[in-house]
Amino acid sequence: MKFGPAPLDSAEDAILAHAVRCGGRIFKKGQILGAAEIAVMAQFGVASVTVARLEEGDVAENDAAMRLAEGLRGQGVIAAPADTGRVNLLAAHDGLAIIGAAPVDALNRITEDVTVATLPNLAPVSAGQVIATVKIIPFAVPESSLSAAVDAAIAAHLDVYPYRPLAACLIQTVNDGLKPSVIEKTSRVTADRLTRLGGRVGGETRCAHDSVALAGAIETALVASPDLLLIIGASAIVDRRDVIPQAIEAAGGRIDRLGMPVDPGNLILLGEVRGTPVLGLPGCARSPARNGLDWVLERLAAGIPADAGDVARMGVGGLLIGRQEEKDYL
């Protein structure tokens, strides 16, 4: 591509590189200059303009951006029309954006002419939300560079996994110290959480905060074959020998992990009872504010595993709330 200043009378059919104002009219960057535009500029005394001209083997910015976007576009992703060398990729439906950092980084290293910016991996998205944007920096890209970038884009394809309509059973353990208003709020908040993910609370049970009573409640809940079992205790789970873990094991289940490196949400439990995933909920699950439970539920709803190893890798980015600085240590 040729780029630089040119006399106005030789700029026809070139791409205007910088906007030019002539009275009340603005000729925008990227506009193709025709005889009419040049005539107006001449009337206002414009002698030269900075322009770009494509050469053989160059691909215009919009065409290049669309080819790159089509390479990136995976399942559940649609591409908006190209404009000024940019194409936005949008979620076709609600779900989780699946974005590999390493492949996108590799794509962005191929040439400075091509850039791709994305949301973080596993970001929850709504239908129509932008999950990535492709921007071509110059007005054209050599075919050789673009071809390499498109190959990298195909390897880095972006997906949006849709949420599945999970039916969960909620069990709340109660004691004399737990206010009825808190119990009712927990029911509403939990139902709202699942509704946002296309799921529902298929049934709710309440029992004493006792491992024997809870084991019986788990047995009863499993009769309905829920997709997911959610248990929140009158007090938080602080040890594998606590009430909720003991009840899960007594009902024939297992504990995969207690605790997660996400705050709020540290005191979550992941397990399984006779093939049904079970979550022991942290106290923050009573609040609608985003916490570690949302990270786990979103993955399960999108059909993405959330095992002990997955949870252990959630620490970077897992600080979801700001804490007041410990100024005494400064």
What pLDDT digit, counting tens, does each position of 231-283 carry? 999 999 999 999 999 999 999 999 999 999 999 999 999 999 999 999 999 99
Other residues' Cβ atoms within 10 Å of the Cβ of residue 17: 19
pLDDT value of position 321: 81
pLDDT score at 330: 53
Residue 100 has pLDDT above 80, yes or no: yes
* For residue 327, pLDDT beyond 60: no
> Which pLDDT belongs to residue 216?
98
At 1 the pLDDT is 87
Which residues on neighbouring strands pair with residue 273, listed in sequence order?
253, 276
Say if residue 28's pLDDT is above 80: yes
Q: Please give the average per-residue pLDDT across 99-108, as a whole number.
A: 96
CB 156 within 8 A of CB 121: no
Residue 259 confidence (pLDDT)? 97
Mean pLDDT of the chain: 95
CA separation (Å) from 221 to 10, 58, 167, 198? Answer: 80, 64, 12, 21
- Of 37-41, 88-92, 186-190, 321-325, the range with the lowest mean pLDDT is 321-325
Percent of the chain with pLDDT over 70: 97
Q: What is the pLDDT of residues 56-80, one digit of tens each?
A: 999 999 999 999 999 999 999 999 9
Which residues make beta-bridge pairs with 276? 273
Cα–Cα dist 284/292, whole Å: 9
| Mean pLDDT, range 209-234, rounded to an integer | 97
Mean pLDDT of 19-41: 92
In this prediction, residues 306-315 reach a mean pLDDT of 94
What is the model's pTM?
A: 0.89
Q: How confident is the model at residue 323 (pLDDT cuts 50, 70, 90)?
A: low
- Structure tokens that stand for 293 in this block: 């439970």
Nearest CA-CA partner of 149 in 194, 112, 182, 120? 112
Tell me which of 48-52, 119-123, 238-242, 290-294 is least confident: 48-52
Distance CA 219, CA 210 (A): 14
Q: What is the DSSP letter of 263?
A: B
Task: Report percent pLDDT > 90 for the chain.
Answer: 94
- HSE-up (13 A, CA, CB side) for residue 198: 20
Distance from C-alpha of 20 to C-alpha of 28, rounded to nearest angstrom: 7
Residue 325 has pLDDT above 90, yes or no: no
Q: Which domains does the chain have, with CATH numbers?
A: 1-9+28-53 (no CATH), 58-162 (3.90.1170), 167-312 (3.40.980.10)
Measured distance CA(193)–CA(284) in Å, rounded: 13
Residues whose CB is less than 8 angstroms from the CB of residue 158 and which lie 6 or more positions away in sequence, other chains included: 72, 73, 74, 77, 89, 97, 98, 99, 118, 131, 132
Q: What is the mean pLDDT of residues 199-228?
A: 97
CA dihedral 40, 44, 45, 47 (to 10 degrees): -40
Which pLDDT does position 85 carry in this prediction? 96
Q: Could you tell me if 134 and 201 are in contact, meaning their C-beta atoms sit under 8 angstroms apart?
A: no
Torsion sign (Cα): 106, 110, 112, 115: negative
pLDDT tens across 127-179, in order?
999 999 999 999 999 999 999 999 999 999 999 999 999 999 999 999 999 99
Q: Supply the pLDDT for residue 322.
A: 64
pLDDT value at residue 328: 55
Helix boundaries (H) for 278-326: 292-301, 308-312
Please determine, for residue 220, whether its predicted confidence score (pLDDT) is greater than 80.
yes
